[in-house]
Amino acid sequence: MKFPYRMRQPQADMISLIEDVLSSGGHAVIEAPTGFGKTVSALYPSVKFALSNGKKILYLVRTNSQERKVIEEAKKLGVLAVGLQGRRHMCPLSGEREDMENASAEEISLLCSKLKRDVERGSKDACPFFYGYREAGEEIREFIRETRTAEEIYRRAYELGVCPYEAVKDVMGEATVVALPYIYFLLPFLRNTIMERMGVDMRDLIVIVDEAHNFPDFARELRSDELTENALESMEHECLEFGNGQVLGRPCADVAEFIREAMYRLSDEVEGEEGIVPQYALEENIAEIMGIGINDVPRMAMELLRYGIEIREVKMQRRKIPRSHVYHAGSFLVNWKQSHTHEFLHLVKRGRQVSLEIFCLDPSPLTELVRSAYASIHMSGTLVLDRYRDMVNLPEDTVLRRFPSPFPKENLLVLYVDDVTTRYGEVDDNIGRIAEYIEEIAKLGRSTIVFFPSYSVMNAVLNSTYVDVITEERGMKQSELEGRVNEFRRHGGVLFSVFGGRVSEGIDFPGRELEIVVIAGIPYPKPTPRQKVLEKYYDFKFGNGWEFAFKMPAAIKIRQAIGRLIRSENDRGVAIILDRRAVHFADHIAMRRAIDPVREIEEFFRQGE
């Protein structure tokens, strides 16, 4: 098997490292910048080893675009690869039914199972695509065996009138590489189904985790849960629609109101946007409002669950999405009780609506499952290597390696200034000077994006500057954002955005579409109650909670912003950090203090012309 491109030395070094890890069945955490060629550099040695040693590759991705890249590279290596996306993206029926548009993965899965059973019992119209696949599925399977992207498979299956999701699952066992979203590995019932289809157990798998900096947070979200006042209002309407059955001798709709009242009581104790709910406070409030004992609350939750299951069954019999707000409320209350442990935090939040949240502090009970694979490779353009290893609970002997950019070092300049800050309590006194820096940089006439740590800081600077800017606004529609980004691409100028926004991660600006990145403040997470508890949790677990809860997320965001500049060997760019606290990140980012920022930026670009 030949490497399909001209191999650069950093790629050769990464391939050699992965070969060593695979030979011993270990684990590696790798950081390599955008444009490095990480996907093919990980697949090439993994495919060779898998073919020679009876292994298979499970390639985990966060986005569909990353999955397409995996399939394209595997095809160039000459092996069969299949990519499975969620049913929402691969079910042709979901494009024809409005009620499936916002359905959860579990709801679509339940409905799909019901419709398939109906087809097998002779009801062809239950799902014409599954019926079509059962009658004439070989053509789409042959199409998949040519190593096609999920989008290509979907289009061809739709033309044939067959189900692409079922077809991909049936071909999965023949593939050397299977590309999947994180969730298919992290949730046990999905992972077991995938491994059964692949015909392997964990010791037969080489697991590659792409964009690994997202992996722990994704797992944390899966272990978290939320109940909103809107959900309780929907529960009340659902109860009335389905007979308003009794729960602990009370009408179900009244129970929704009782839970909502308990939620309001807890929110009244909060001064800011969120607060920590003391242990058993929710149960005590529900018990007092309903006039029951606190030990009756878990029984109430189970009765809600049972009633919700009945509602879901009725909806499924009607071939509708089996969504039940009664079931969700009961499930949340059961989870709330079971999560009275040190791994979880209970919160009440106040915003546009009041809500309760079960926040997972520790993602490792899900992520550490990767340890049981034969080997795993975790890679990203922005990782704090040892912190990532510890957070996902990889072995202590995991190989940690940072690879340099394959592009000329002189193409990127990172500066910082030490006379301003967005530090809490000091930001108001610094807004004017930050605005002056941005105005001076804007006069250079080069395409510039300014990333702010929050919308409040961005708006304060907007009100203090005369520069004509394009802005990414909170909650704006995707189409409107694309219009503003395209305007910036065509005409240049200055674009204001925030860390964590869509511009900071998901959009490329090749060549002169982006020449300067201004980082207007360090994007530390807000010191909210949850973040402070998270710090204490990691202090207890590792002894350096601030690093995990505050510094690591900020470092990743800064490096992602800087990474927008250099995506190919012809790109050149300058990043400048407007915050004296930048020096705390010198161990992660090569930078120097600017004496005369505008002059130094002008000189950098003059040298490249």
| pLDDT of the residue at 258 | 97
| pLDDT of the residue at 220 | 96
Q: In degrees rounded to 5, what are phi and psi of residue 70? A: -60, -45
| pLDDT of the residue at 328 | 96
Query: Which residues, other chains included, contact 283 with Cβ-Cβ below 8 Å and sequence gap of 6+?
Result: 294, 297, 337
Q: What is the 3-state secondary structure (H, E, C) of 396-465?
A: CCCEEEECCCCCCHHHEEEEEECCCCCCCCCHHHHHHHHHHHHHHHHCCCCCEEEEECCHHHHHHHHCCC
Going from the first residue of the chain to its last (609 residues), give the mean pLDDT of each consecutive group of 10, the final group possibly shorter.
Answer: 92 97 97 90 98 97 88 95 87 82 83 93 92 94 94 93 94 96 92 93 96 95 96 96 93 96 94 91 96 95 96 94 95 95 94 94 95 97 92 96 87 95 92 96 95 94 92 85 89 91 75 93 93 94 92 92 85 95 90 95 88
| pLDDT of the residue at 29 | 98
Q: Is 489 exposed, middle or buried (0-12, 13-18, 19+ CB in 10 A)?
A: middle
Distances (CA, A) of 150 to 70, 163, 502: 11, 12, 24
**Alpha carbon distance 538, 388 (integer Å):** 13
**Alpha carbon distance 437, 30 (integer Å):** 36
Q: In degrees rounded to 5, what are phi and psi of residue 494? A: -125, 130
Strands 448-452 and 494-498, how do they pair? parallel
Domains in the chain, CATH or no CATH each: 1-79+176-222+365-406 (3.40.50.300), 92-164 (1.10.30.20), 225-360 (1.10.275.40), 409-607 (3.40.50.300)
Can you state the percent helix, strand and coil of the chain, rounding each to 5?
55, 15, 30
Closest CA to 465 of 500, 447, 440, 502: 440
| pLDDT of the residue at 506 | 62
Largest CA-CA distance found in the chain, in angstroms, rounded: 80
Distances (CA, A) of 328 to 8, 102, 332, 480: 52, 15, 6, 34
Q: Which two tokens stand for residue 358?
A: 């079960």
Query: Which residues, other chains included, contact 543 with Cβ-Cβ below 8 Å and sequence gap of 6+?
Result: none
| pLDDT of the residue at 93 | 86
Packing angle of the helix pair 105-120, 297-317 (nearest 10 deg): 40
Q: What pTM was computed for the model?
A: 0.91
**Alpha carbon distance 301, 319 (integer Å):** 27
**Alpha carbon distance 121, 117 (integer Å):** 6
| pLDDT of the residue at 89 | 82
